[in-house]
Chains A and B, each alone.
Chain A
Amino acid sequence: MSLLQTRGLTVRFEGLVALADVDVAVGEGETVGVIGPNGSGKTTLFNALTGLYPPATGDIVFRGRSVAGLPPHRIARLGVARTFQSSRLCLQLSVFDNVLAGMVAARRTGLLEAVAWRRRARADMQAALARARHLLGLFNPDLPARGWERVGQLPQIDRRRVEICRALAAGPTLLLLDEPSAGMSPAETRALMKDLQIVRDERRGLSVIVIEHDMFVIEGVSERVIALNYGRKIAEGSFAAVVAHPEVREAYLGQEHARA
């Protein structure tokens, strides 16, 4: 049985159909790549899966239950974590705080403990901090030492890593990565691909959907590729098969080149 299954997923903004009748399935431990030209609905798919855009019609089944229409924080607590195309970190907050934000939903202590049962609250926080250090260290051994710095002081690639750490901190079963290589140099992109490998080694059984423009990244990490255009799924299968698909070639290169 697949971990995530959408059936006829449709998202509309007024008259515009951003996502039309999309069926996507992701199995446990599988990594699926999503490609498509700008405006083809890739990010809209993520926003629908995380509950930011409730679907107009269709259903989203995650771990055997329908999550369509649930608010984003409920879906997140069920085990869906994501990163954003243009990073959405809190630049004023420390690196640790940003990673800890991913663990808020899994906290063990509440307000009363925070005020009146300090030892327990502190132990909870220290355990969370240790986990944040561990996660950061997986990606870059220097990051845990910079944990108290504000995220705004980190270079772009480390910010991306912090954002992935925040997503992993929640202990998700499905991780959505929205263009992790956006705005990165080729060397940084190679480093990022190693990071994606780390993600998969760290949590076996973790399913990943990754949106990418960089075909090199997609080819390297995904076991299966889905191509979107104008909000529709136009192709699905192995990387080689999808790239060779005539509709995909047409979407990327225009009609004439596709024929040639």
Chain B
Amino acid sequence: MILVWLTEALVFVLVVAGILAERPRALMLTAAAGAAAVAVPATVPRVRTALTRAFEAHRAAAVAGGAVAALALPFALRSSPYWTFVATLALLYVTIGQGLNLQIGTAGLINLAGAAFAGIGGYTVGLLTVSTGWPPWLAVMVAPLVAVAVGTVLFVPILKTRGHYLALVTIAFVFIFNVLMNNFEFTGGPQGIKNIPTLTLFGHRFTTAPRLFGVTLPAHANFYFACLVVTVLTTVIIRRLHDSWLGLALNTLRDDEIAARCCGISITRGKITAFCVGNFFIGLGGALYAVMVGFVSPPDFDFGYSLVMLSVIIIGGVDSIPGVVLGACLLVPLPERFRFLHEYRLLLYGVVIVLMLLYRPAGLWPAAVRRYR
């Protein structure tokens, strides 16, 4: 019990310290501490089993601790609107990552068009609110469905190609999406869509700074809490689907299509279901992004972001639901912190992914065996 609280507190402190550390030396120290906190359990099996046992035995405590930490984060970051924004972005990456992981991790559909489906969500919100005057919350609810609907054009390659070939088709899809967004007039071309109206909840506009428990938080904290709710809901839904007959069927067809077919599993139905459910959540993440930043343009959804989404899954853990949360929480804020490295930052990023694939292909938090609890 104490072990669980201590670990969670340590992780939380490290995350906040890592984000707030201003001087490069302090930053390096927190980064080293963070790396050690990850490396020690990963390499010393005794520490790892002790930690996993503690978390297994006190699941409720661990979840409660995580919830408190997540709710407390904007208060810790109250002096910095920018880092509140980055934390919200990390939450959106969790939502997107969960959807994408159902496709890539659970069903083995290598979808590198994540940025395009997020873009479809974002552009749908932009078009519906700015051009048609829909209320933003309604547009955010409809946008994921549009992402699913547009995804139907990929049904044929999804069913007819596998592995790298499917990856190539989806890469092509991102580029086509970008070219179209750059050239269509109704999407604003390279300028994109500006002045997307913000969300309001019971008359509270999300652009006004909220005051909670006597503390004034940055305006982005509104989105942080809204996205937290969406992210938790997404994660719970994906978890339940993963631990259902669907997750089992998808894992089976991912590992062996012939065996799956001879077990009575329809490959067509499985892949289509995974693809549509995944696109729904990717589109939802893109839609929330659009209302949060207030504009969408083609470079916000280019192929590079597909790679970031893929990296979240590879670093967190393929087919691992907690892994996606961890991956997004590491991968979204950390590169921001290393901005002083300029473009070498991206190089570092690539090196980390190659190292992961070489030495820890299952990710930092590998997928556990399904326990049906």
Contact = CB atoms under 8 A, between A and B. Distances in A.
Interface stretch (A57-65, A118-126, A252-260): A118-126
Contacts of B372: 122, 125-126, 129
B273 interface: yes
Contact of B261 (A71, A91, A97, A129): A71
Given A93-B251, A97-B248, A104-B249, A114 B258 contact: no
A115 B240 contact: yes
B245 A73 contact: no
Interface string B249-264: 1011001101111111
B11 interface: no
Interface string B172-213: 000000000000000000000000000000000000000000
Contacts of B244: 109, 111, 114, 121, 125
Contact of B266 (A73, A101, A106): A73
Contacts of B251: 90, 92-93, 97
B264 A77 contact: yes
A150 B261 CA distance: 21
A101 B237 contact: no
Contact of B245 (A50, A109, A170): A109
B44 to A, nearest CB: 22
B258 A100 contact: no
Interface residues of A, number: 42
Nearest to B261: A72
A89 B266 CA distance: 17
Contact of B252 (A52, A101, A110, A149): A101
Contacts of B273: 111
Residue of A50, A52, A89, A104 with most partner-chain B CB within 10 A: A104
Given A104-B249, A115-B241, A125-B372, A72 B255 contact: no
Contact of A92 (B248, B255, B261, B265): B255
A50 B262 contact: yes
Contacts of B237: 115
Contact of A105 (B240, B265, B369, B370): B265
B264 A170 contact: yes
A102 B263 contact: yes
A82 interface: yes
A146 to B, nearest CB: 12
A73 B267 CA distance: 8
Chain B CB count within 10 A is highest, among A84, A106, A125, for: A125
B27 interface: no
B258 A101 contact: no
A232 interface: no
17 contacts: A73-B262, A73-B266, A81-B262, A93-B369, A94-B369, A97-B252, A97-B369, A101-B259, A101-B260, A102-B263, A104-B245, A104-B248, A104-B265, A110-B245, A114-B245, A115-B241, A126-B372
Interface of A: 50-52, 71-73, 76-77, 81-82, 84, 88-94, 97, 100-102, 104-107, 109-111, 114-115, 118, 121-122, 125-126, 129, 148-150, 166, 170
